[in-house]
């Protein structure tokens, strides 16, 4: 998913579809802007090669019924950077390139120690060539401890200490998420049902302006907000 903040502007933020009516994204994408609609266009390796629907026909542009930032979202020290978009019409999940992401709903997922684990950020920006990719791209990152990230950011912070609670951080590299759309999902493999799947553990929140710096990438920790998500969504 990509979100268009206002009419006549390009798509500015990313998000993930959690059911046919809701998109999970970053709260700062919903702050100070009119979010008009989303484009559902998740392309896998074979999504646009044949199929009964065709590639272009399966792109869905859907208007927003309600933008719901977390009530505790604040800045300039960013906290509670998570939000939901309720779509005016449900996404047609019968298309080959439309699907929902799994969330860490079980107790074992929410309490999993992910420090040091490999993770993946999904995005559609070709960072090396600075244009939007026609296929879904993935960046592999490693998860740091919250203490390390807080130490890095507090050294030069002008607006008070950064509180790393309810956040995840990863390395920043030449292929890091420092240039990826805000709101994009950070995922880890985990057992869900009868097989291993990508589970969304984080949401791209903020990071360095340049890649290859010591400053980590920071994500909202989705596990800390499952109660809010489940209490906010409605049929």
Each residue of 170-222: pLDDT tens digit?
A: 987 545 555 567 899 999 998 887 888 999 999 999 887 665 566 788 999 99
The reply to whether 63 falls in a domain is yes
In terms of pLDDT, which residue wins out, 16 or 77? 16
Are the beta carbons of 84 and 24 closer than 8 angstroms?
Answer: yes
Radius of gyration from C-alpha coordinates of the chain: 17
Measured at the CA of 215, the angle between CA 209 and CA 217, to 5 degrees, comes to: 75
Are the beta carbons of 59 and 40 closer than 8 angstroms?
Answer: yes
pLDDT band with cut points at 50, 70 and 90 for residue 19: very high
* 168 and 70 co-located in one domain: no
pLDDT value of position 98: 72
Structure tokens at 36: 């008009």
In whole angstroms, give the CA distance from residue 206 to residue 5.
18
Residue 110 has pLDDT above 90, yes or no: yes
| CATH (domain of 204) | 2.40.10.10
Ranges 14-23, 90-99, 115-124: which has the least confidence: 90-99
The reply to whether 190 falls in a domain is yes
| Alpha carbon 50 to its chain's center | 28
207-211: long-range pairs with CB below 8 Å, 24+: 207/172, 207/176, 207/177, 207/178, 208/172, 208/178, 209/178, 210/178, 211/127, 211/172, 211/173, 211/174, 211/175, 211/176, 211/178, 211/179
* 149 and 195 co-located in one domain: yes
Domain that holds residue 168: 107-223
Task: Among 55, 75, 100, identify where a domain stops.
Answer: 100
Asked, as a colleague might, if the bond just before 76 is cis with ω within 30 of 0, I would say yes
Task: Among 69, 100, 131, identify where a domain stops.
Answer: 100
In terms of pLDDT, which residue wins out, 4 or 79? 79
Task: Among 65, 100, 135, identify where a domain stops.
Answer: 100
* 128 and 192 co-located in one domain: yes
pLDDT value of position 95: 73
In whole angstroms, give the CA distance from residue 124 to residue 16.
12
The reply to whether 28 falls in a domain is yes
* 161 and 200 co-located in one domain: yes
* Count of domains observed in the chain: 2
Q: In this predicted model, what pLDDT tens digit does every residue of 53-101 receive, in sequence order?
A: 344 446 788 899 999 999 999 988 889 999 999 999 999 888 766 788 9
pLDDT value of position 47: 39
* 141 and 218 co-located in one domain: yes
* 126 and 95 co-located in one domain: no
* 63 and 22 co-located in one domain: yes
The reply to whether 231 falls in a domain is no
Structure tokens at 52: 């009964």
The reply to whether 189 falls in a domain is yes
pLDDT value of position 115: 95
* 112 and 89 co-located in one domain: no
The reply to whether 179 falls in a domain is yes
pLDDT value of position 45: 40
| Span between the terminal Cα atoms of the chain, in Å | 20
Among residues 185, 180, 178, 188, which one has the least CA distance to residue 212? Answer: 178
pLDDT value of position 158: 54
* 114 and 171 co-located in one domain: yes
pLDDT value of position 44: 45
The reply to whether 188 falls in a domain is yes
* 121 and 80 co-located in one domain: no
* 56 and 123 co-located in one domain: no
In this structure, the number of other CB atoms found within 10 A of the CB of residue 163 comes to 13
* 21 and 79 co-located in one domain: yes
């Amino acid at each position: 998913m990509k979100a268009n903040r206002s009419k006549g502007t390009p798509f500015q933020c990313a998000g993930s579809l959690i059911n046919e009516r809701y998109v999970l994204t970053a709260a700062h994408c919903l702050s100070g802007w009119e979010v008009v609609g989303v484009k559902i266009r998740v392309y896998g390796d074979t999504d646009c090669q044949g199929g009964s629907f065709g590639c272009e026909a399966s792109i869905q542009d859907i208007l927003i019924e309600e933008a719901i930032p977390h009530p505790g979202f604040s800045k300039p020290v960013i906290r509670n950077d998570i939000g939901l978009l309720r779509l005016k019409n449900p996404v047609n999940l019968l298309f080959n390139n439309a699907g929902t992401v799994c969330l860490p709903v079980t107790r074992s997922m929410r309490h999993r120690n992910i420090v040091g684990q490999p993770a993946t950020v999904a995005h559609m920006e070709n960072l090396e060539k600075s244009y939007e990719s026609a296929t879904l791209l993935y960046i592999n990152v490693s998860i740091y401890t919250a203490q390390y990230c807080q130490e890095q950011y507090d050294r030069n912070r002008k607006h008070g200490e950064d509180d790393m609670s309810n956040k995840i951080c990863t390395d920043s590299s030449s292929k890091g998420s420092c240039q990826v759309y805000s709101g994009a999902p950070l995922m880890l493999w985990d057992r869900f049902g009868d097989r291993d799947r990508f589970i969304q553990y984080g949401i791209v929140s903020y990071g360095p302006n340049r890649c290859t710096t010591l400053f980590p990438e920071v994500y909202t920790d989705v596990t800390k907000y499952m109660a809010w998500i489940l209490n906010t969504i409605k049929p």
